[in-house]
Amino acid sequence: MIRLSIRFSSALALVALSLPVFTASAQQDVPAAPVAQAPSAPAPAAAAPVFPKPDPANFTADTPTKDTVNAFIQASWGYDETRVWEIWAIQKTEVDGISRVTLLVGDKTGKQKLMPAQFYVLPDGKHIFAGDEIMPFGAKPFAEARALAQQRADGPYRGSASKDLEIVEFADFQCPHCKAAQANMDKLVVDFPKARFVFQVLPLAEIHPQATRAAAYGFCVSKQAGSDAFFTYAAAAFEGQEGLTNADGATLTLNSAVIKAGLDPAAIATCAADPATTAAVAASVKLARDMGFYSTPVLFINGRQVPANIPYDTLKKIILFQAKLDGVAAQ
């Protein structure tokens, strides 16, 4: 499922709550904070955490190796320069081929107590189970998703023609969070001129009845007039999102968006009803499913899955880190 980034942190935070034994151990072994010498003295600076020494008896599994786990965590968390960790255990489990990995996680400031986090490496060695998520695993956990996106993400794009740094957005025109995420996307296009920003439609038809129609119109706008026209249409469709609550409102909203893109609404409606258009929208939905997720808005940054509406500064930091990890220019 997710490509081990923001959501991995959340999953491990939840798992940590289920590990009282390791929590007690970590808290007992971490030195107490220094005491001020006098009431008037300034508080001492926080110190980096001191990890308790791992017990070799906790490393009973042949795979994965500590090097692989470290590379995986670095790829996943390296964008956060304050985060530190220690591999506490890599153990066999009751199920043949499944290994349990336990980490102690802290931050360089020492302000947070060491917390345990745990995940299970599946027998294929390429996936883990953490919380309620199945995620890719390995020294290069995002490589497979990156290749899949490069091969099949064929939506309209802004920015560079090169796929060296490819940021694929999956969005639903009727999704309020997708609308809100467009502010991030518009800033990213300016800040990362060397990146290729691809828009893939992912209509969540079960909860957004007009989203598939909006996606089909968008496909036809792109097909008839190219990417620039599509992004004009997309901006107008998101702007008029409140009109997509029913079929009649959707007709008015989408026709208006098509006109703003410089095209004929009747011609776009005819194209949208074509089985080939239906198949194209379905192919974009299938790509999302094959990449292992079911919600919007989502970005894939060279295969790394990240919510599109996280704080902008964090998003920039992740893009810069991923570009450096992949050895490509970002700006």
Question: Using one digit for the tens of pLDDT, what is the confidence trace for 237-258?
Answer: 999 999 999 999 999 999 999 9
Which amino acid appears at position 16 of this protein? Answer: A
Confidence of residue 1 (pLDDT cuts 50, 70, 90): very low
Q: Which of 262, 5, 252 is nearest to 136 (CA)?
A: 5
* DSSP string for 146-205: HHHHHHH--S-EEE-S--SSEEEEEE-TT-HHHHHHHHHHHHHHHH-TTSEEEEEE---T
Q: For the residues 15-29, what does the mean pLDDT come to?
A: 31
Confidence of residue 172 (pLDDT cuts 50, 70, 90): very high
Q: What is the pLDDT of residues 294-305, one digit of tens each?
A: 889 999 999 999
Q: How far is it, in rounded angstroms, from Cα 142 to Cα 1?
A: 11
pLDDT of residue 112: 82
pLDDT of residue 109: 85
What pTM, to 2 d.p., does this model score? Answer: 0.84
Domains and CATH numbers, the chain: 6-138 (no CATH), 145-326 (3.40.30.10)
Mean pLDDT of the chain: 88
Angle at Cα 15 formed by Cα 32 and Cα 324, nearest 5°?
Answer: 85
